[in-house]
Amino acid sequence: MKTIKNYVPGSVSFAMGFLGPPRSIKGEVFMLADEQRAKRIVKRLLKEGRQIERAELGLDGDWRENSTAIWEGGTFHKYDAYEGSGWATPTLIVYFKDGPSEAYESWKPGEIIE
C-alpha cells in the first residue's frame, strides 16, 4: 500500500466543478469511498501503537466539500460525505499527534462510466 506523508488534498472551484471534471472519465471506473477499508487502516495503525489525532475520509479534488472525520477522540464516526466520484479519488488522511500525516487511497470500484 502506497503511503504519502504530509499530503495536502486538492479542491476544485465551484466553476471548475460546474464545467466538468479535470480529465475525461468516459470508460473509467466510478470510485466509491471505502469506509470499511479506511477503518481497517486506522485500526492497523492504532494496533501498531501510532498516536492518531484524527482520520478524515474524503474525495481528493473535492476535499472542502466532500470529506469528514471518520475517527476522532478515540471513536469511529460514519462517513457522511458524497459516496464517490469518477475523477476525485476517495482518500484517507490520518493525522498523528507525534509525526507527519499519512494519506492512503481508500476506494472500491463502482460501475464503468459511460
pLDDT at 46 over 70: yes
**Is residue 107 a contact partner of residue 84, using CB atoms and an 8 Å limit?**
yes
The model's pLDDT over 50-71, given as tens digits with 9 standing for 90+, comes to 999 999 999 988 888 889 999 9
Look at the chain and report how many structural domains it folds into: 1
Instruction: Give the containing element (helix H, strand E) for 74.
Output: none
User: Is 16 inside any structural domain?
Assistant: no
Question: What pLDDT sits at residue 14?
Answer: 46
Residue 91 has pLDDT above 50, yes or no: yes
Domain span at 53: 4-9+28-112
Q: Which cell numbers hold the place of 30? A: 466510478
pTM here?
Answer: 0.82
50 is a domain residue: yes
Asked whether residue 83 is assigned to any structural domain, the reply reads: yes
End-to-end CA distance of the chain: 29
